[in-house]
Structure 1
């Protein structure tokens, strides 16, 4: 069972620093999985140094973390926003579903580093469980759409 109360308690701290948190998550994603950068037209072919303070990564960070926050605030009743997210990533962005698992795993690590007081072991476990559920729901949408990307 996912502790949505714990997650949303931590998320309230994250919301005050969304851009920096998202930048750190994306920079770590691109550092660990350089091929991921190719799925972001405004971010590809740039070094991590160039991306660090770019307006494009800040905009992407805000967009992604706002969407994630909207899903987390649903406390498990996230079918509609997950369907919408999956649809845009299937039809518009063509992002393979395994990247959701990669970025959410990185997000737990980054959140633990940036918010050590809030992201104690129970909070990390709660986020891990929530992200596992969300990613499984996203993958169901990809399978239903017969995604071949």
Structure 2
């Protein structure tokens, strides 16, 4: 069981700059896992150093974090959110399911750095459990959706 109340308490801090925090996570994802950039047509041909000032990265970071916030706020009752997310990422974006694990690992690191007061050991554990559950559910949806990478 995840401590959704604790997660949402931290998430309130994240929402103070949703787009900026999403941008930071995407940039770190591209830095730590350069292969993931290939799944973003707007970004794949742009060197990482130039992406830091790219408005589209911030816009997409906002989109990613808005979707994640919608999941977090459901406090575990997020099946319809994940179904919609899986459907678009399988059929439209063709994003491999393991990329969700990559980005959630990056999120944990970035949050620990940016919000050390909020990302206590219990908060880190709560996010870790929630992200593992979400990624597992997404992998199941991908299998049901017949995803071919």
Q: TM-score, normalised by structure 2?
A: 0.98
- Unaligned ranges ≥5, structure 2: none
Q: How does 1:1-149 map to 2 (within 5 A)?
A: 1-149=1-149
Moved more, 39-48 or 72-81: 39-48
Query: In the TM superposition, what whole-angstrom CA distance separates every residue of 1:10-60 from its partner, at most 9, and x where no partner exists?
Result: 000100111121111111111111110000011111112111121110111
**Distance in 1 (alpha carbons) for counterparts of 2:97 and 2:129:** 17
Q: How many residues are aligned here?
A: 149
Task: Report the Cα distance in structure 1 between the residues aligned to 2:140 and 2:91, rounded to whole angstroms.
Answer: 15
Q: In structure 1, the residue corresponding to 2:116 is in which secondary structure?
A: coil
Whole-angstrom CA distance in 2 between matches of 1:19 and 1:115: 16
- Structure 1: gaps spanning 5 or more residues: none
Aligned CA RMSD, in angstroms, stands at 0.6
